[in-house]
Amino acid sequence: MTPCKLQFIALAALASMAGAAAFVVPQPRPVDFVDGESTAFFGISLDVPGTLSATVSFDASPSNCVELAFGRDLDFDGELDWSEAAVKVGWDAGEWLASSPVTGETFAADPASPNQRKTLSLIIRIDADGEATLLSLRENGVPILAEATPALVGAGRIDLWNCVRETVRGAPFAAQASVTTRRDGSMFSVR
């Protein structure tokens, strides 16, 4: 490999890493009652082409709910109202749910494992037009809700999303969420 080619590869890797942004996800306040609900909101920014990654880890029960909703805060009040959500994913009453208010479709799936501790991972690749080209949902590394992918990919211009809503229902509450966005770098090869 020539020194010039190595320099281009190193520059592309640095540009890709420099474009990554991890967003602090505030913890919703703990709920006091089994039927209590709490929410937290946080802003995001997306570059295209790029990747949006989100994870949420929690102890699942047949009655609690942990959900992430992504969309555009149209009234700029710092909160993502349910009518502003484009995609919702999470756990509710013992099963996984994924929905898109844009397409009007909701999908459900049983847990992939009997473990109480669950980690939901969402990865969305965004092309230069702001559309999703790849979407992956996994429970503890195992693919779930594959049938929901076409509906969620059809959720419109993902590059316009600017807000995430984390909702938890049920006690006891303990969920950790993170969201990372990364601009995809370009790799050039010069011979």
Closest CA to 122 of 56, 167, 183, 184: 56
Q: For residue 190, is it within any domain?
A: no
**Does 188 reside within a domain?**
no
The helix or strand, by DSSP H or E, that contains position 149, with its residue range, turns out to be helix 149-153
Q: Which residue has the higher pLDDT, 16 or 11?
A: 16
Tell whether 191 is covered by a domain.
no
Residues 145-184 have pLDDT tens digits of 999 988 888 888 999 999 999 998 886 566 888 899 999 8
The alpha carbon of 50 is separated from its chain's Cα centroid by a whole number of angstroms, namely 13
What pLDDT is recorded for position 186? Answer: 47
- Angle at 179 (CA atoms; ends 136, 45), nearest 5 degrees: 105
Domain range holding 60? 3-183
pLDDT given at position 25: 67
DSSP 3-state assignment of 137? strand
Per-residue pLDDT, 20:
73
Over 50: is that where the pLDDT of 9 sits?
A: no
pTM above 0.75, yes or no: yes
Output the six-digit token pair for 71: 């969309």
> Residue 157 domain-assigned?
yes
Residue 119 lies in a domain: yes
Into how many domains does the chain fold? Answer: 1
| 125: DSSP letter | E
**24-53: b (≥16 Cβ within 10 Å) or e:** ebeebeebeeeeeebbbbbebebeebbbbb
> Which helix (H) or strand (E) covers residue 108, if one does?
strand 105-109
* Residue 18, pLDDT above cutoff 60: no
CA distance 77 to 62: 33
In a domain, 69, yes or no: yes
Mean pLDDT of 12-26: 55
Quote the CA–CA distance of 85 and 140 in Å, as a whole number. Answer: 25
Q: What is the CA radius of gyration of the chain?
A: 18
SS3 159: helix
Query: For residue 39, what is the domain's CATH number?
Result: 2.60.120.200
Whether residue 189 is contained in a domain is answered as no
- Cα–Cα dist 44/107, whole Å: 25
Average pLDDT estimate for 11-23: 51
* The pairing of beta strand 117-126 with beta strand 50-59: antiparallel
